[in-house]
Structure 1
């Protein structure tokens, strides 16, 4: 009996030791140089538990004793380390993989081996066997938009173990392709597609199934456990490898951005006023960062220079007195044009301690449609929102509304003290179906209004890739809908996720017209910034309808150009019109605007002469000789409808610019280079990098250092 007890105790101790949970931290660096590597994927093998290193190469992840950590990074050799009993810190050095980046991709997904040496089951189909007859090709072209039979019909019956069945009950449903003998861990057994060495996302499978078989050189089907060693967990249901004749097939990017027409120089004598709405959005910078990190070409319209400048913190002093923000100005030489000067205007919002923020009535409006079924969409969204949930107080309440083909409430209003209940509702979400964004917005606002807190923080937080395709879906429809909802007193925050079908224009329209802000979350580090560090500014508005009007002194300035803010320009008369919507300022937010000015007496290619005016007196008032410009600000308090005006004057004289001034100039310079601006005389990236590097100043979070790294990466694209 004693022996039995002994074995039971040993068994329990052994079981507990294997189930022991540990928190592992560490740093990932490059072998040989010691350079920290940001965004390295750190995964617990055979689980969905994953994280990324931050800007300084640091990571933290919870594991069980005996787990194996896998470290992977594009262009570097992967590393695996088993967690041992006394481990708490695991630092890793990663070696650059041999060959170029292109060779790394080909090695990972297109390794050329003799069929007999692969070590896993392969069914191969030649281009001749999948080619259609002329009449079949003609029919396929006519039906290409209505069916998905072109490739699947060609493969059906020609590959051993491949089962193809059409979707039932949906007009435009995809065929279901299953590989018999492949591993299965769920009912969703769709195989991984790889075309010309590139893995295909689930949302793009329909496009692959429509490919013209005459373009295909061969098709291979893999269906053994060993295949996952080459293609990873995504190939658990088998893998279909397609090679085209040209070898460069691409799935078209379906992202959309509103057209931006760059601001030009305005002559002061005929147009002395410049009026615009503030913009605290920062989405453009994190979106551009994502594109550079992924080696993508950057569309010019994706680059909003004001959002790139405002991504960074600047050392502006806190406001004093009754106004909720302070004003700061300075001017100096323009780094990209020696004939002009640069003016910086900065606002600093008052920081409200979190315990002083009024009770919040938050509605999470979450997109769970099929397009969100990617690692950097719904899974990232869930983890990001948990950061916000962790900061909620007992007096705060959260509701969760989701939408796919239709909209519904999955969590009734729940106190912020019940964090486990809120997080469990997030964990239960799965992606699938079409995208009824309009219906989701209607329901979210209805719930927000029903639970409205007077003098509280009432807000809908929309998280989506913006790909609405059911009901109201156009930018114009969304603008009309959200302008109506704005009257309810409920504010709006838009958080963008994902790539390839990201609809920046739609989310910007919603945030702009919905008294809100817009951010793009590409990593957990960005989620921590938006929903963690900047929680108050993201969710609590201290001033709304904030407008800026600058009047330039014609005795000092010939012409001026506002850098960025193209989508935020206002008519001069809108400045005093309290019915005109403008931007919102959150707790602790900063706003920075740059003007490039051409001083009087300087000849410039950017100024065209205009004839003298017959009826207008163009005589210059010389009584303000030491003033460069006057800045006027108008804003409303969150619960009020009448605006308040502030005035600030920038005078000439000896002026030593700050490091913040020069760093902001470097960000604007880089943005103009990406946009291929006609207003930069010097577009040498090395000079932009030098200016940024020399003016990093206090960079506690490492964002400025990351900006320098991004510019260096951009040089190699």
Structure 2
């Protein structure tokens, strides 16, 4: 009898547990739907959808997919508000949405563009379907609208979305944003007799490429000033020979026909930094300097940042150390310097971060350097990793102030890596300045795969500097070359006298990194008439007789070891041995394809006969083994740009 009672009790307990489980499971509500453009009815991808309590607390959030659809699950039954936001559209709020137990609620949200309506002279017109936000649309006259459009065009690089310019195709993108980019004044051809030397600092940053990818993937063309061709080229690794001898570099040179201008030649210069086994890398003293201000709340900012840094933490050892400094309204130490093998503690500190407040970037940088200096590892990798959208607005915020601060702090021997996140308010100009002046590098993280590339796959090149103040100087032989143009590196140009000046700051190179530079040159006797009037007091057209040589140019390369202040010099020569384009290395042809695509994106006046077809043919023929698929992705981006340009032509 006792056994039967026990069985009955067990049965009753199981029934109760199942009922409780079903009740709990049934309690969840689901919100799903899609977001569309109110005017065109087109679906909108990458839109932020926030589910908030009636008190304003964010309960859950998500992004719409490529079809503009979203789904939020696991919602406790209650009454909620939904906020829908996207750059270029007015924020939409829907209040008082009742989500019931075990019910899936489908909703369609329509967003209205920020672009003003063109109407007759009226003061203000209320937006029709958004009364809960009391949003109003300012209606402007046609004349004022035209004036505003002219102002937008003039101020494009200072904060407006770029028009889609591909070749000679211009699309229509009128949405305002506050992204900022340093202006680029494209290099022109220089006469060899008047300017025989070309001097510049290396650039191993790759932020421009991944940022460009973000624009193209979203159906836009990047602003012209966001396209730094040298960073696009150097996003990829090239198969240069490993260095031999005393210097940690090798230099490779090639010359062939210019793919986009059959009358000119293209010169390719490749540097290879010595590769290091991960076991040979020195211990790291890292300080994560993380922006947790309100501008970082979007899913492609702080949430992506956390996932990215978790990848890095997984690769640290007991010999490494990590501290976490955050800044919003004020700067603070979230995690003191902690052994790298205490991963649970580090990841817990990371994953508990939330966004809110203004942006005291200057205070955060000062605190990060203080912590890095207190835990300095002699002959180790002492580095601050700054992750932000670059939107500093309190404290030392001007580029001049930040530059002076970073220049002072870099003397401590602590290097700076900058990782950019987000869109809409992204400050590329400030991020580039910080990395350049802080003896560091700069990458833009647009997705988790890019985070893996920067922080895991290429960790040696990103984190471990093998040379600082790296400069190149080329001397062209006027008997062979009439004029030349450096492709890219506009923001890295140096005065000729800076090359031998060891106090002049230049770029840093990491373990295993490659650096590639391209010159388009006009051979002797094939150029056009000089555009500069003859000089009155001297003649630059008369050459001093020199021994005959088959050298086209001389490459000089200066660098310092990370702990030294005196530079070392390497000299190499390129002889007059041009080969057919199809006989060049994959390095030459693929870098040329990337450069040609950059000329198209910038709508360069030097693009000559550049075309998508030529870029694709050259890139596909030189893709090589492509271990990580980066070159295949480049080909897809070119194809996307070509299709977008074709679609615009068809609309016209």
| TM-score bin, normalised by smaller chain | 0.7 to 0.9
Against the structure 1 CA distance between its residues 665 and 79, is the aligned structure 2 distance closer, same or farther, given a 3 Å change threshold? farther
2:321 corresponds in structure 1 to 397
2:84 corresponds in structure 1 to none
The Cα shift of 1:536 comes to: 1.3
1:261 corresponds in structure 2 to 185
The within-5 A match list for 1:285-434 is 285-434=209-358
Against the structure 1 CA distance between its residues 80 and 542, is the aligned structure 2 distance closer, same or farther, given a 3 Å change threshold? same
Against the structure 1 CA distance between its residues 243 and 619, is the aligned structure 2 distance closer, same or farther, given a 3 Å change threshold? closer
Instruction: Give the secondary structure class of the aligned counterpart of 1:340.
Output: strand
1:215 corresponds in structure 2 to 125
Against the structure 1 CA distance between its residues 380 and 71, is the aligned structure 2 distance closer, same or farther, given a 3 Å change threshold? closer
Task: State yes or no: 1:669 paired with 2:596.
Answer: yes
Task: State yes or no: 1:555 paired with 2:471.
Answer: no
2:369 corresponds in structure 1 to 445
The Cα shift of 1:196 comes to: 1.0
After superposition, give the CA deviation of every residue in 1:262-316 in whole Å (9 maximum; x if it has no partner): 1111111121111100000000010011011112242111110000000111111
After superposition, give the CA deviation of every residue in 1:404-440 in whole Å (9 maximum; x if it has no partner): 1110000000000000100000111110111110010
Write the distance in 1 (CA, Å) between the matches of 2:63 and 2:492. Answer: 43
2:418 corresponds in structure 1 to 494
Write the distance in 1 (CA, Å) between the matches of 2:335 and 2:323. Answer: 5
After superposition, give the CA deviation of every residue in 1:126-170 in whole Å (9 maximum; x if it has no partner): xxxxxxxxxxxxxxxxxxxxxxxxx99xxxxxxxxx9xxxxxxxx
Instruction: Give the secondary structure class of the aligned counterpart of 1:487.
Output: helix
Instruction: Give the secondary structure class of the aligned counterpart of 2:128.
Output: strand
The equivalent position to 1:701 in structure 2, one of 628, 636, 640, is: 628
Task: State yes or no: 1:196 paired with 2:188.
Answer: no
2:114–2:176 contact (8 Å) kept in structure 1: no
Instruction: Give the secondary structure class of the aligned counterpart of 1:508.
Output: helix
Write the distance in 2 (CA, Å) between the matches of 1:624 and 1:509. Answer: 44
2:415–2:438 contact (8 Å) kept in structure 1: yes
1:519 corresponds in structure 2 to 443
Write the distance in 1 (CA, Å) between the matches of 2:464 and 2:72. Answer: 43
Instruction: Give the secondary structure class of the aligned counterpart of 1:538.
Output: helix
Write the distance in 1 (CA, Å) between the matches of 2:429 and 2:129. Answer: 38
5+ residue gaps, structure 2: 1-5, 25-44, 53-61, 74-78, 82-89, 101-107, 116-121, 141-171, 646-652
2:399–2:433 contact (8 Å) kept in structure 1: yes
The equivalent position to 1:278 in structure 2, one of 184, 189, 202, is: 202
1:681 corresponds in structure 2 to 608
The Cα shift of 1:623 comes to: 2.3
Against the structure 1 CA distance between its residues 197 and 14, is the aligned structure 2 distance closer, same or farther, given a 3 Å change threshold? farther
The Cα shift of 1:686 comes to: 2.2
Instruction: Give the secondary structure class of the aligned counterpart of 2:429.
Output: helix
Task: State yes or no: 1:468 paired with 2:392.
Answer: yes
The within-5 A match list for 1:629-668 is 629-653=553-577, 655=579, 656-668=583-595
The within-5 A match list for 1:153-172 is none
Write the distance in 2 (CA, Å) between the matches of 1:633 and 1:121. Answer: 63
1:377–1:497 contact (8 Å) kept in structure 2: yes
Instruction: Give the secondary structure class of the aligned counterpart of 1:564.
Output: coil
Against the structure 1 CA distance between its residues 627 and 426, is the aligned structure 2 distance closer, same or farther, given a 3 Å change threshold? same
The Cα shift of 1:637 comes to: 0.6
The Cα shift of 1:10 comes to: 9.5
1:480 corresponds in structure 2 to 404
The equivalent position to 1:459 in structure 2, one of 383, 390, 407, is: 383
Against the structure 1 CA distance between its residues 517 and 621, is the aligned structure 2 distance closer, same or farther, given a 3 Å change threshold? farther
Write the distance in 2 (CA, Å) between the matches of 1:198 and 1:10. Answer: 56
Using the size of structure 2 for normalisation, the TM-score is 0.77
Aligned residues: 551
Instruction: Give the secondary structure class of the aligned counterpart of 1:623.
Output: coil
Against the structure 1 CA distance between its residues 618 and 605, is the aligned structure 2 distance closer, same or farther, given a 3 Å change threshold? closer
- Superposition CA RMSD, Å: 3.8
The Cα shift of 1:16 comes to: 12
The Cα shift of 1:614 comes to: 3.3
Write the distance in 1 (CA, Å) between the matches of 2:487 and 2:173. Answer: 38
Using the size of structure 1 for normalisation, the TM-score is 0.70
The Cα shift of 1:214 comes to: 1.7
Against the structure 1 CA distance between its residues 313 and 400, is the aligned structure 2 distance closer, same or farther, given a 3 Å change threshold? same
5+ residue gaps, structure 1: 20-39, 48-69, 82-119, 123-150, 153-161, 163-176, 185-191, 200-211, 223-238
The within-5 A match list for 1:83-122 is none
Write the distance in 2 (CA, Å) between the matches of 1:216 and 1:683. Answer: 48
Instruction: Give the secondary structure class of the aligned counterpart of 2:504.
Output: coil
Write the distance in 2 (CA, Å) between the matches of 1:529 and 1:360. Answer: 19
Instruction: Give the secondary structure class of the aligned counterpart of 2:443.
Output: strand
1:74 corresponds in structure 2 to 66
Write the distance in 2 (CA, Å) between the matches of 1:79 and 1:315. Answer: 45
